[in-house]
Amino acid sequence: MTAQPQWVQEAWEQTKNKVKRVHTRIGDQFPHASVNGTYKLEPAAWWTAGFWPGLLWLVYRDTRDEELRASAESCERQLDVLLTDAAKVDHDIGFMWTLTSGARYRILGDEDSKRRALLAANLLSARFNAQGNFIRAWNGQGLEGWAIIDCLMNLPLLYWASSVTGDPRYLHIATRHADTVLQHFYREDGSVSHIVAFDPVTGEKLEVKGGQGYAPDSAWSRGTAWAIYGMSLSYQYTGNPAYLNAAKRSAHFFMANLPEDHVPYWDFRSPEGDSAVRDSSAGACAACGLLLLADQVGELEARMYRESGEKILHSLYSRYGAWESETEEGLILHGTSHFPEQQNVDVSLIYGDYYFAEGIALLMGYEERFW
């Protein structure tokens, strides 16, 4: 690996050290959000179940710490019960198995992990609505036609499944969903809607919902981050320039609306009074997307995207980090999960921690992503 700025090396060392310290308590469990400094643990069926083992795999790839590997593999095995019960999973299948089975297969070439990831891809494919060309988000009555922007980050599981099996049907489903996002989620300025409801029978678009954003027409920052990274990944797998252009539009909207410290507000169009609330997890995710985007464009554009991604990560490290804290298990502070419902506001979030670590690993020269 090439030499990196001192702060990047320090951030990576701090990340590895803290993950190891926190691992002594969490082990092979599933943290979600920090409550009074301690990560609340969730069941294996929770949508964020993949992020902690994914974080363990990021660190293991560098350190070869066998304790971290054993816990990550145990987390993966605990998800097995979900592979035979479609009612217990939703569109977040990609988040869950890409960072567990997919990561283990990429690092170790384990065939059992490949089998699990393909089973998960089958479950995700089964959620595709062929009339509306979208992957259904959540389960439950009345939600049959709902799709959400987050699902862009689940599509890499399908792209990967198509590449390893040679079966184009996974690819078809992923690209049709991505095309639907372009048509129905994207706005002219590069911001995106969180939820779009379709008629599940006819496929007709019915309405846009605010979801975790302030309003249906607002600009939830983590949704924009999903769009930057998700569309860049779709371009990586397909070469479709429409996806690259969409990622660039969202990136420019995101960058243009960042405050001075480069860490986004929870919603770029939230009313005065709420606008000061940040979401560090949105910043971390967007930074990873910007670094990928930098690899996909010409030199001048690449410099702009890479510098923006680095500024976000540097700010998260230097201003939002909890590296020496003995009372906070999270890596980065001031994440916001669901502001409208006041759920997990101004806390550490496991997916924010994961994307921060992924971004720093990329700056360190680990070019292969788990997505």
State the catalytic residues.
Answer: 92, 150
| Residue for token pair 């992957």 | 135
Intra-chain end-to-end CA distance of the chain, in Å: 21
Spacing of C-alpha 21 from chain mean position: 24
Contacts of residue 139, Cβ cutoff 8 Å, sequence gap at least 6:
87, 90
Instruction: With CA atoms as reference, report the closest residue to 288 among 267, 312, 317.
Output: 312
Whole-number Å distance between alpha carbons of 152 and 174: 9
Whole-number Å distance between alpha carbons of 264 and 106: 32
Q: Which residues of 14-25 are buried (b: 16+ CB within 10 A; e: fewer)?
A: bbbebbeebbee
205-212 contact pairs (CB < 8 A, 24+): 206/145, 209/146, 210/340, 211/148, 212/337, 212/338, 212/339, 212/340
DSSP assignment letter at 141:
T
For strands 128-129 and 195-198, give the pairing.
Answer: unpaired
Q: What are phi and psi of 50, to 5 degrees?
A: -85, -15
Q: Are 220 and 213 in contact (CB under 8 A)?
A: yes
Whole-number Å distance between alpha carbons of 302 and 225: 18
Whole-number Å distance between alpha carbons of 213 and 195: 10
